[in-house]
């Protein structure tokens, strides 16, 4: 048995990867694809028998747990059987929506895992666009300000918590808002110990140098949202979560909801002298590099509850960073950096400390003060 991995990064979007387990023996043409023929995007190879494939990456899926897991399983089955990946995505469009990747990217990753050469592909780039579709650029600030004024969230600067507890609290509070048991809330986190937080659909062995992470005292945890892996060191990171009723993001696209949830942060960073901007789907950056990233997930209300569902939106920003340590504990592939201006993860992140000269506590206090002023 051999396990082979292929990756594809959608320009301005997210990375999708496929691990394929194959036999090493040569097979015969004419056998069924599920038994002996590896296929991808209509291209096939008869060199090896595909035993299994597993889809992972830092993409997002909007939908309930069952639908999201079923979507992934059916995508994996489509790849192995030679069926249309696009048809599977369309079939699930009302229950679970892929964000940051698409059928072509998935098929390309599968083909690369098998060493299949595909024709040049044409991808839709997510780019750095601001809100423009359903609301329009001209009135974006007005309608976002209105929604924030109506939300009026409770602001909590939390106590230090261990990584596993952080993950539990985050999902628990989101579900409580979904059931109408907790008002809209913004929680500023404090970390009690170092952590590596991986996204909901990422493969830990492929993203983290686990032995090195353990040796350096990191706890590896998985959060309930998609996106990429983050290295957390207490005192070097600023993390917050917004738990809001679904009505807060009603009537807008997923991409627009990221900008709505973080518009206050962009404005606040401008106030303290950072030329912050949105980048791609979920990143926050300046002219000096990436500052942080966001992730989201929607939670439905249980039948019979008084709630109307909720959106969890959390952000992690680098205040300071040990770039050497980050490269030791994370496995950042060249494909993930393929559409970046710089080709090294250690050069992509420019912490708030170097851009402001302020202490971490000063920045967190300014963030809280700004929120209260809204």
Residues 299 and 338 reside in one and the same domain: yes
Q: pLDDT band for position 336 (50/70/90)?
A: low
In a domain, 83, yes or no: yes
pTM, two decimals, is: 0.84
Give dist(CA 257, CA 263) in Å, integer. Answer: 10
Range of the domain at 108: 2-114
In a domain, 35, yes or no: yes
Residue-wise pLDDT tens digits, 256-281: 999 999 999 999 999 999 999 999 88
In a domain, 135, yes or no: no
If one counts the domains in the chain, the total is: 2
Could you tell me what percent of the chain has a pLDDT over 90? 69
Residue 148 CB neighbour total at 10 angstroms: 18
Give dist(CA 131, CA 62) in Å, integer. Answer: 19
Could you tell me what percent of the chain has a pLDDT over 70? 83
In a domain, 268, yes or no: yes
What does 197-214 look like in DSSP terms, one character per residue?
Answer: EE-TT--HHHHB-HHHHH
The string over 276-301, giving b where at least 16 C-beta atoms fall within 10 Å of a residue's C-beta and e elsewhere, is: bbbbbbbbbbbeebbbbbbbbbbbbb
Residues 63 and 204 reside in one and the same domain: no
Residue whose C-alpha is closest to residue 267's, from 371, 347, 184: 371
Positive or negative, the Cα torsion across 25, 7, 83, 20?
positive
> Between 258 and 131, whose confidence is greater?
258
In a domain, 345, yes or no: yes
Residues 311 and 366 reside in one and the same domain: yes
Residue-wise pLDDT tens digits, 213-257: 999 999 999 999 999 999 999 999 999 999 999 999 999 999 899
Residue-wise pLDDT tens digits, 137-164: 446 778 888 899 899 999 999 999 999 9
Tell me what pLDDT residue 141 has: 76
Q: What tokens were used for 80?
A: 């192995």
Give dist(CA 266, CA 287) in Å, integer. Answer: 13
CATH number, domain of 252, equals 3.30.930.10
């Amino acid at each position: 048995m051999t396990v082979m991995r292929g990756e594809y990064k959608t320009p301005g979007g997210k990375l999708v990867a496929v691990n394929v387990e194959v036999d090493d023996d040569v097979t015969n043409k004419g056998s069924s694809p599920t038994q002996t023929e590896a296929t991808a995007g209509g291209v096939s190879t008869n060199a090896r028998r595909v035993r299994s494939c597993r889809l992972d990456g830092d993409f997002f899926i909007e939908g309930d747990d069952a639908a999201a897991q079923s979507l992934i399983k059916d995508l994996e089955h489509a790849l192995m059987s030679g069926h249309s990946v696009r048809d599977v995505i369309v079939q699930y469009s009302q229950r679970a929506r892929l964000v940051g990747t698409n059928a072509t990217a998935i098929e390309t990753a599968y083909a690369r895992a098998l060493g299949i050469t595909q024709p040049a592909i044409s991808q839709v780039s997510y780019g750095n666009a601001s809100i423009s579709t359903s609301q329009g650029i001209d009135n974006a600030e007005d309608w976002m300000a209105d929604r924030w004024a109506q939300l009026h969230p409770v602001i909590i600067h939390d106590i230090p918590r261990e990584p596993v507890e952080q993950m539990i609290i985050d999902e628990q509070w989101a579900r409580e808002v979904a059931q109408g048991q907790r008002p809209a809330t913004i929680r500023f986190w404090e970390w009690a110990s170092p952590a590596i937080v991986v996204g909901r659909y990422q493969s830990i062995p492929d993203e983290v140098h686990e032995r090195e992470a353990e040796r350096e005292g990191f706890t590896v945890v998985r959060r309930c949202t998609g996106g990429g892996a983050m290295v957390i060191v207490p005192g070097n990171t600023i993390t917050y979560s917004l738990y809001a009723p679904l009505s807060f993001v009603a009537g807008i696209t997923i991409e627009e909801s990221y900008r709505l949830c973080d518009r206050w942060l962009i404005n606040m960073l401008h106030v303290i002298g950072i030329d912050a901007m949105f980048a791609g789907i979920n990143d926050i950056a300046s002219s000096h590099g990436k500052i942080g990233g966001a992730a989201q997930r929607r939670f439905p209300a249980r039948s019979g509850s008084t709630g109307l569902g909720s959106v969890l939106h959390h952000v992690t920003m680098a205040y300071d960073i040990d770039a050497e340590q980050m490269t030791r504990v994370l496995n950042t592939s060249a494909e993930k950096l393929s559409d970046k201006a710089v080709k090294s993860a250690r050069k992509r992140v420019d912490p708030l400390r170097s851009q402001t000269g302020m202490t971490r506590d000063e920045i967190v206090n300014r963030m809280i003060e700004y929120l209260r002023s809204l």
